[in-house]
Amino acid sequence: MDWKTYNWHFEGVEKHLSRIETKKSRLDAFRPIPGYALQKIKESLSLEWTYNSNSIEGNTLTLQETKLVIEEGITIKGKSLREHFEAINHQDAIGYVEDLVSVQYKLKAADILSVHALVLQRIEKEFAGRYRTSGVRISGANFVPPNALKIHDYMDELIEWVNKETKKLHPVVMATIFHHRFVWIHPFFDGNGRTVRLIFNLLMMKAGYPPAIILKNDRKKYYDALNKANQHDYSKLLLLVLQALERTLDIYLSSLNNTYDDYQPIADIVSEPEFPYGQEYVSLLARQGKIDAFKEGRNWLTTKKAVTDYIAHRERKRTLTKNKS
């Protein structure tokens, strides 16, 4: 089957995409964002991005330790030199990616290789910025990456597809499919995951979105979604990306609106007197992307209004269906 034959639909995806677009429009209304406010948000998010992306690959630095390494140059006792360099390298790569962002930007192989070179600088210089030259196997994956001799052609084809598909597919859907296809090609000996999460965010930032940060706590869900995409089903991966993107949008909007306090852990909301829905049900709505919610650590945060609005909408649909029948 041609890899361009893909299914990315899931129940509620159009509504989720619409919610993303509404929040993006609200964020666009703040532009130009005051420099100080923008810098503080970007610093916080880039730190989270580095911490989570490296942690997914096995780096054991905590978020606070990552901050100390990057911002203070402090050496953390008991942590390897490689883990320190991974944090510094990734931060350098984020800076490079942010400098590339523009509406007119077109993806180039040279930029992918440059990002990879930054990801592996100081730790694996002999592989940095170079496609692999032999076969590899990925533990836990349900596929074997293609022969190394095909990598140049596959990457050129993928880059050409991205630059042509920009006007056809929704940019978040396009970036998600790119993300999986890159992982499938597995063009490098090491650093594929960190590199693809940087480049796929470059594609979304080019389209005016903030970065979607895949969380360390979603590592298993992320790998399961990538395996599902190997069967041409992108629905789980897209849902994960949409949830990650919505979280970042919420962070921007709540910071600029000072409305972060409107979001509460689901357990706190359902524990309020006379709240008619249980934690398990509301958590399911959050995981499925059916309500406005985002994840912090292991907890889902939402608003009472998001839950009640969803239920009211569902009841209206039921009533209309009954009246028609």
Inter-residue contact 1 to 224 (CB < 8 Å) = no
Mark which of 257, 287, 311 sits at the end of a domain: 257
Is residue 6 in a domain?
A: no
**What distance in Å separates the CA atoms of residue 29 and residue 36, rounded to the nearest whole number?**
17
What token pair was written down for 267?
């357990």
Last residue of a domain, one of 232, 257, 282: 257
pLDDT at 324: 67
- pLDDT tens profile 33-84: 888 788 889 999 999 999 999 999 999 999 999 999 999 999 999 999 999 9
Q: Are residues 292 and 237 both part of a single domain?
A: no
Whether residue 193 lies inside any domain: the answer is yes
Helix residue ranges per DSSP H, the chain = 13-28, 35-56, 63-67, 81-100, 109-120, 151-165, 171-185, 192-206, 219-229, 235-257, 266-270, 279-287, 304-324
Q: Is 186 in the same domain as 207?
A: yes
Catalytic residue among 16, 84, 186, 232: 186
* Number of neighbouring beta carbons within 10 Å of residue 207: 17
pLDDT tens digits for range 215-256:
999 999 999 999 999 998 999 999 999 999 999 999 999 888
Range of the domain at 119: 13-257
Same domain, 192 and 238: yes
Residues 237 and 295 in one domain: no
Q: Which residues of the chain have pLDDT under 70?
A: 1-4, 166, 258-261, 321-325
* Nearest by Cα to 292 from 246, 261, 324: 246
Single-letter code of the amino acid located at 88? I
* Residue 4 belongs to some domain of the structure: no
| 293 and 216 within one domain | no
Residue 7 lies in a domain: no
Residue 320 in any domain: the answer is yes
73 and 205 in one domain? Answer: yes
Our answer to whether residue 180 is catalytic in this structure is no
Of the candidates 30, 43, 18, the residue with the CA atom closest to the CA atom of residue 313:
18
pLDDT at 1: 42
Q: Which strands sit side by side in the sheet containing 264-265, from one edge to the other?
A: 264-265, 299-302, 293-296
Instruction: Examine the domain organization and report whether 127 and 192 are in the same domain.
Output: yes
Overall number of domains in the chain: 2
Residues 28 and 49 in one domain: yes
Cα dihedral 23, 25, 31, 37, rounded to 10, equals: 0
Helix ranges, 101-150 (H): 109-120
Same domain, yes or no, for 198 and 89? yes
pTM: 0.84
Whichever domain contains 19, its CATH number is: 1.10.3290.10
Report the candidate in 217, 219, 210, 284 with the shortest Cα–Cα distance to residue 242: 210
Of 257, 277, 302, the position where a domain reaches its end is: 257
Tell me what pLDDT residue 116 has: 98
Same domain, 170 and 247: yes
Structure tokens that stand for 270 in this block: 């359902």
Query: How many whole angstroms separate alpha carbon 291 and alpha carbon 308?
Result: 10
The verdict on residue 1 lying in a domain is no
Is residue 39 domain-shared with residue 104, that is, in the same domain? yes
Residues 315 and 199 in one domain: no
